Structure 1
């Protein structure tokens, strides 16, 4: 496959994943008492789609939302940000949520997810026509949070990857690791080792590669972990990953 970059892409860049509503209480409970909880529209893949649109790249987003007025308002808002939403799939009854206390980042143990039986989480394997969805697409992006939700989404991601490969579409995967989401009896490395076989680009920190692909970290790094050691460990780990996965 010829080498391309996002800035050279003539076709669309498709981000696939769950749109989430983020609700932000504070640690002392004042926002709950005042009935004033800030809300944001987000999700890892939507954040990518939004950034690409901001950079004037041809960004499209595929997700599932319930057919109701809240979804319509969200779609209207995202359309104004320049994201192509023609691939949004309308089904189900609810939008996934997560609660993030003010001052905590997304990896904090206090993050509470409420994603079970959302429109996206309950997608069936054959509900998305990937042949149509990938028409005109040059780059497919999703994160490890998608297959973390359930086996159906593993199958959906695998089907998307297979069709993307047949269309010679560049594939990138963000190795987001959220331990709270992997709750259906499979270990991340069981699933992700299959999916990254299709990827041309992987993103993630050292711990994500360790958890997702079972790439070992050296004892020296774990015990010391200073800046220089961190850089050296990154170089060593990258070589291990590249040697293990031929497309990278």
Structure 2
């Protein structure tokens, strides 16, 4: 079943020293183009869906190269607009062993996307779509982007298009009083049908209360079920990562379904959560049964950790094979 999904979000350039080196050790860098929407759409394309990105890129050869890259991922760039000269950049020093990975952002607020306005976008791009994906980072970067994100969500609701919202709450990106930030998130949550969120989103951002004497999984279930009830959310998805194992969960206002624990092998961690999100969205849109859906989404997230780059490039067939057969050294 092929569905049409569009994402509103930024495209960034990722710069990375090769072979787990630190930036100070190299004089050459690898680079690619990435972003939450790009990554989720890339995964959904691999799963057989028709995917589109709406964003604003620099009006120069860097913007053209970014468009070419997302096309290679199977993403339609019909609704990409162009203006100004800059793209957001982040440097990734990949960690290994006991050394954590380090990400440093540059020029994000002054990028072509960061400075885009409602007038840059054509909301007719939503016509005929089945779902719209919005990342919470778009709410944090600038007020003008927040206005665009809300305009897209409201236009999608008018068209009865499913609104998918990834909370992706990053305190370091926000300025202003916490109550104001909470209000902004609550406004978007009230527009969303499908949400990606976790324990910290519910407690630190939304100030939901939980019985600390309960086991963690029961705390998580209760607090996310309450979120579903408060904001009329159909499903909340997320993962628990512990001791190099990943467990996925799916929560409604009445129940929680969890995946089996799955062992992680990490080649490139960035984008692993977007691999899970793509699997969850695919499973939701194609009406998988709950237990199969969350197992499939978690397997998708696990396999996304094994490929280079932020954008998932694992096929639906590979995910299903992994679910059935587990790890195999070689397929002949």
Per the TM superposition, whether the score is higher than 0.5 is: yes
Q: Flag structure 2 segments of 5+ consecutive residues without an equivalent.
A: 235-332
In the alignment, the residues of structure 2 paired with residue 46 and residue 30 of structure 1 have an alpha-carbon distance, to the nearest angstrom, of: 26
Per-residue CA deviation, residues 184-228 of structure 1 (Å, 9 max, x unaligned), is x2533121111111111111221123334332344346xxxxxxx
The question of 1:165 aligning with 2:149 is answered: no
CA distance in 1, matches of 2:145, 2:183: 14
Name the counterpart of 1:42: 34
Q: Which residue in the other structure is 2:221 paired with? A: 235
Q: Secondary structure at the match of 1:141?
A: strand
* TM-score scaled by length of structure 2: 0.63
Residue pairs, 1:219-234, within 5 angstroms: 219-220=212-213, 229-234=215-220
Matches within 5 A, 1:1-248: 7=1, 9=3, 12-25=4-17, 30-103=22-95, 110-114=102-106, 115-130=108-123, 132-183=124-175, 185-187=176-178, 188-220=181-213, 229-248=215-234
SS of the residue 2:149 aligns to: helix
**Cα deviation code 1:47-84 (max 9, x no counterpart):** 10111111121111111101111221222222122111
Give the secondary structure class of the aligned counterpart of 2:169: coil
Q: Is the contact between residue 25 and residue 32 of structure 1 (CA under 8 Å) also seen in structure 2?
A: no
Give the structure with the larger strand fraction. Answer: 2
Report Cα offsets for 1:82-120 as digits up to 9, x if no partner. Answer: 11110111112101112222118xxx7943222021001
Q: Which runs of 5+ in 1 are unaligned?
A: 1-6, 222-228
User: How far did 1:247 drift?
Assistant: 4.3
Runs of 4 or more consecutive aligned structure 1 residues displaced over 4 Å after TM superposition: 28-31
**Closer/same/farther in 2, CA of residues 217 and 43 from structure 1, 3 Å limit:** farther
Q: With the length of structure 1 as denominator, give the TM-score of the two structures.
A: 0.83
Task: Give the CA deviation at 1:239.
Answer: 1.5
Residues 150 and 216 from structure 1, CA distance in 2 versus in 1: closer, same or farther, beyond 3 angstroms?
farther
- What CA distance in whole angstroms lies between the structure 1 residues aligned with 2:168 and 2:122? 26
- What RMSD, in angstroms, separates the aligned Cα atoms of the two structures? 2.4
User: How many aligned residue pairs are there?
Assistant: 228
Contact conserved, 1:149 with 1:181, CA < 8 A, in 2? yes
Whole-Å separation in 2 of the counterparts to 1:218 and 1:66: 49
